[in-house]
Each structure stands twice: as C-alpha cells, then as structure tokens.
Amino acid sequence: MSERSASPCVPTVRVTEPNPVPSRLGVFRSGDGLDVSVVARGASGVDMCIFDEAGAETRFALIGPHTGIWHGHIPGFGAGTRYGFRVHGPWDPDGGKFYNSHKLLLDPYGRGVDGVVDMKPGVYAHCVDEDLYPSEYPLRRSPIDSAAYMPRSVVVEPSFPIEPQPHTPWETTVIYEIHVKGFTKNMPGVPPQLRGTYAGLAHPASVSYLKDLGVTAVELLPVHAKCDEPFLTERGLTNYWGYSTLSFFAPEPSYATEASRERGAQAVVDEFRGMVSLLHQAGIEVILDVVYNHTAEGNHMGPTLSFRGIDNPSYYRLVDGDRQHYFDTTGTGNSLLMSSPQVLQLIMDSLRYWVTEMHVDGFRFDLASTLARQFAEVDRLSAFFDLIHQDPVVSQVKLIAEPWDVGSDGYQVGGFPPLWSEWNGRYRDTVRDFWRGEFSSLPDFASRLAGSSDLYGSTGRKPMASINFITAHDGFTLRDLVSYNEKHNEANLEGGADGANDNRSWNCGVEGDTDDEEIIELRYRQQRNFLTTLIFSQGVPMIAHGDELGRTQRGNNNAYCQDNELSWINWDLDEHDYKLLRFTRDLIHLRRDHPVMRRRRFLEGPARRGGESSLGEIEWFTPAGTHMTEEEWNQPWARSTMVFYNGEAIREPDANGRRILDDDFLLLINAAPEAVDFTLPDANYGHIWHTVVDTAGDDDHKDYQSGDVVHVGPRTAFILRNPRGL
C-alpha cells in the first residue's frame, strides 16, 4: 500500500529545479535560498518541511528521483532554517519498507540538531501501545503525526577559522580517553556554567591539566548527536556514553553550554569548533570516537527517526528472506549496510566533514569489524577500507579501529590493514593476567611489552599500530580493576545481566571499599604497576580519564547509562590519589623525554653484525642477571623478569636527520607475591643505574652499579636508567 499526503490541511509547495542537480547531499545555502538533496530510492515522493519560529510547517515537494536522489531549490531561506523530511512510499514491512509521511524525519546530512526526541508512540512508524510495543500484527502504519515529538535539522555554516592541526607523530602520541561532560562536570577552576561542556573542556583549567599530565591527544567518547533508547527512558536513565547516533554530522547539543543551546544549533557548532581550536592551540589533538556501525533507531520495533523512514533497505542490513528484521552484529538491534554505496558515501562524507570543517585530528571506529563486513564475513579488502585508503583527506588523519564486534569471527585484533592502528585487546588481557597472577605466558607478555610484532609485523605495520591500554570507558576503571572481582551494576536496573563477566580483575583480598591499609597500599601499587607497564611498552599508550587519580565507579563495569556522580570524575582527591597523579605524570614525561621508549619500528633482540652497538636493542634477563633460556621463557609460573632497552642502538634519525642517542633502561618486574632479588647485568650493559620509578612508592630512589643486587618487593616494578647521552 502506498500513500502520498499525510495532512491535507498543510499545503505542499512545488520547488524549483536547480541547474545542475546538486553535487552533494544535504541542505546548503545557495544564491537566494537553499539547495536540497536527499536519497530515497524506493520513495514515491519526498517533502522538505520548514518550520518557522512559531513552529508552523511549510512543505516543499522535491523533484525526483534522479538516480534515487530527490532535490530542489527553495528560495527565501538560509542559515538557521529548521527543517525535516516527510517521505511517501509503500508500507511493506515484510519487504523492509516502512514509509510513513506522518513521520517527520531528520536529515541524514543535517549539520545541526535543535531539540530532542520525545519517545512517545508518535515517533513510531507502526502502531504501538503505551509501552511502545507493537499493538498489531502484522505491523500497521501509524496515523499519528510525529512533528510534535521530533527535533529539527538546522542549516549551519562554519563561521570562523580554527587553529591548525598539531599533526603529532604517532610515536610521540599519548591518548587520553575522555567524556566531554564527565571530565569537567566537577572540575575545580572551571566556572559552573561551563562545567560538563565543550567550552569547559577548552577552559584554561582543563587545558592546563592535560598539558601538565603530558597527554598529546584527547579521544572523545561519541559527540555525534544522540538519542536515548526507550528502555532507558522508561527507567529514568540516559545513554551517557552516547553510542546511539541520531546524526552523523551534528555535534551533541547537550554538551554545549546553556547559553549556546539557547542561541541555537549554529552556536552549538561554534562552541565545538572553538573547543577544537583552543586544544589545537595547546598542541593537543582531538580524536572522535565514532559509531558508524549502527544508529539509534534500534531493531524493527524501534522508532522511526531518520534512516528507517527515508530508505530502510538502503541503509540497514536486513535478514535474507525475512526483510522485516535486521541482521545485527552490534548488539544494538541494527547494523548499517556496508555493501550499500549510499551508506559508504554517508560515512565518507561525514568523516571528511569532521576533518575539513570541524578540524578534528582522527577517529576511533566503534565495533570496526562491522564496518568491514561487506557481506557476512569480516573482510580486510572491503570497500570501506578501499575508500578510506584512497581518500586524500581521511587517509591523512589518525585512524583507530576497535577490532571486534558481536558477530561471527568478529574478533579481529591484528587483522586490519596498513594505515590503521587498533585497540590492542590482546595487550589489555595479557597485562591484566600477568599482574593479577593468573596464567599469562612470559613470551606473550614480552611480545605485548615490545609492541606486539606477532600481531602487526607480518602485515608491514609498525609498533604504532598497537594502541596499548589497560582500561577504557567500557569495563572497570583502573582502581576498580584492583578492587573488585565481580561487577556491581545494580544502578543500571538490568538485574546484573549487563556488562562483561570476565574482567580479569583482582580485588587484592577484599571486595570493594576497605579500611585495611595494607590492601589499600597494595591496590595503589598494582595501579602503578599497570601504568608503568603501559608507559614502558612500545606502541601508543591510552589512559582512560581519571585512572591517573584513582577514579572509581564502585564496581560498575558498564556505566553507559550513569550520567551522575558514579561516572563523573571526583576531583576531591586524598593523599593516595595525589601521589598516583604525580606518579602518572612523571611516567608520561619520562616517555616523552626518551625515544628508546617510543620506537618507530620493532625492536630487535641479538646485536646485528656490523651494528653500532655490540648489544641488542632489547634483551631479556632472569632475576639472576643471565639471559633467558628457552626453558626459562616457557615456565608457566614465571612472574619475574628484567628487560634491557639499549639507548645506543636507536638508528632512526630525528626530525633534523641526526642520529639519536638515548639513555639505557632496565625494567625490573616482579609480579610474584613474594620479594625477589635481581642481580644487575655486567658492565657491558651500564655501570651506574639510577632508580627513576619504584612502584612500591619509595621516594628515596637509590643508585646501583652493575652486579649489584636490587631487592624488589612483592608485586613491584622498578625502572632504572643508565645515563648515556641525550
């Protein structure tokens, strides 16, 4: 069944046809008005609906379709225009078609969003009951007009220049994963009206903190305009993390200041761009966590907000032989159709927009394995990768994959092509297991520490392909990782069914809070052990915001819906937290000052014939100071080792073409529950060793000579430095 007019009382105006047909999709100011272009291949008609300040609607019937595109020129309108689309066509749920012109739809290319979705029955294309479940089967088209419950797309334009991108080399990059709101919501020094906003993140207090810590890039949890899922709304919760995209071009309005929101979508965009500019001015890059694998419309019973109502079969992957339902590899109800030229164009246009107009420095792709599913399997030769690699804009920024999804064969750590870096899940799991005392082979741990050449070397990639992390937004915080054996997600109101059950955590003897000073000290020592391993590892380190100062979510390992004190950083620090913060800052600065800790190529073990050093670039010793034998490497109970970084063996030139000479370093690791004595290697590896890191927290750093015995306490790590000559 097809339909044409939803509300005869609202007249529809015929638009003029621009000459030529618009070359880009979306709505843009042109001459005396707006050029409009939207893809709706199966539609019988498309109306652009423009709303005045009083909310009155005027409809303009677009011309088309020309190769699936509906377009037109509408004179008399410009920047600030609030609009949406109504799409006419057949109602055929079994065929995956849910056209319903009673529903106002957001522009997939809209640069600004004004308002929020009011999750009422009216925003559903099919008839639903008060609980938002289908009220009839087969699904029947809803006659309710959704305009009263829907936000509007808004025409916006860039309005000022942005500071140039820092272009920080991968090898000197330190990533700080951050939530725009949670970072500054309680931050001292940030004015109350700016806290939890883009402007708050760009405030001098925030920028000064980031610079002092030593991070070079902030990786923002999703800032695309979002929509809360109905089941969260019912529980009085929100999608705090934002992995529920409503618009791939518009920044999330709720992260803007109240003043910007009151001025409208243009002011929200300006505030975001101002944040980027001020961070660039401080030398800090901005990486966006982007969700191009699914949208906020959920499964076939979800609301119709944009894509589903415009061209459902072209945007979403449908089940073969059952096209009412979605083929979902994301766990959210739907997956975008990566074999669709329309979807690929949308993603590429969005990425280019955020680089060229919003001037961000890179992207972290959520559930990136789904993006590689051109058909059923994950394909490293998919069209998505081809488009990224050949694009002269997107290929030049930092590209990070979350290399897994929930579909078959979705775990693809090490499986992405050159040009990409990856969240190294193998690194996270191995390092967690090693320090908590569970089974983790020493060779596997050694490989993670040395840059994971077993994962990335065979495809021609470098250590920078490995984004090393211990914790991220998804899971325990670093403090909770050493304080809880089990998740405690009661606040999510899902009966404990959400969040991972396998956390590779250890509570150090007591679950949760304790007054036991020995356990408290052990927990902070374990946090320092994790941070020391992270910073000493080859690759790119990533720290989750607040981990450097003991942030806790009280055992909640899935705080995606907790927009409250549970997720926001608590800046009221005690002595232990201040000490951890200083320790983390000193570690990051140590890495910054010493190139041997951030090599641009994989380390080589034995010295090469004719090399400038008689020592290997990296060498591994037993606590007795002897080289590891094959038998010692493969002892499953081995928890102690000593690692040598040869500062003289760095052969890459610096930016000026000069050969770099660095200090030598020894990392002494004792993950065992008892103390271990380490004998330092002979004088070939350095005469004098200064203690620069002691995770036991001893501020009295000692000096040692070759052959000395260093007493390393239980679950403790040392870094020793032999001055050679930077």
Cite the active site residues.
Answer: 366, 402
CA distance 644 to 180: 39
CA distance 596 to 681: 19
Residue 175: phi and psi, rounded to 5, are -95, 140
DSSP-assigned letter for residue 608? P
Continuous H helices in 67-218: 180-184, 198-201, 204-213
CA distance 20 to 64: 13
Please choose, from the candidates 8, 26, 123, the residue with its C-alpha nearest in 3D space to the C-alpha of residue 70.
26
What residues contact residue 302 under an 8 Å CB cut-off, 6+ apart? 124, 230, 308, 333, 334
Q: Are 364 and 287 in contact (CB under 8 A)?
A: yes
Angle at 634 between CA 628 and CA 635, to 5 degrees: 95
CA distance 28 to 453: 47
Residue type at 722 in one-letter notation: N
Helix (H) or strand (E) holding 270: helix 265-281
CA distance 575 to 579: 6
Strands (E) in 577-687, as ranges, are 618-621, 640-645, 664-670, 676-679
Please choose, from the candidates 64, 40, 39, 48, the residue with its C-alpha nearest in 3D space to the C-alpha of residue 10.
48
Q: Are 75 and 58 in contact (CB under 8 A)?
A: no
Helix (H) or strand (E) holding 75: strand 69-75
Question: Max alpha carbon distance in the chain (Å)?
Answer: 92
What residues contact residue 454 under an 8 Å CB cut-off, 6+ apart? 414, 447
Q: Are 150 and 189 in contact (CB under 8 A)?
A: no
3-state SS assignment for residue 421: strand
Helix (H) or strand (E) holding 633: helix 630-633
Residue 667: phi and psi, rounded to 5, are -110, 120
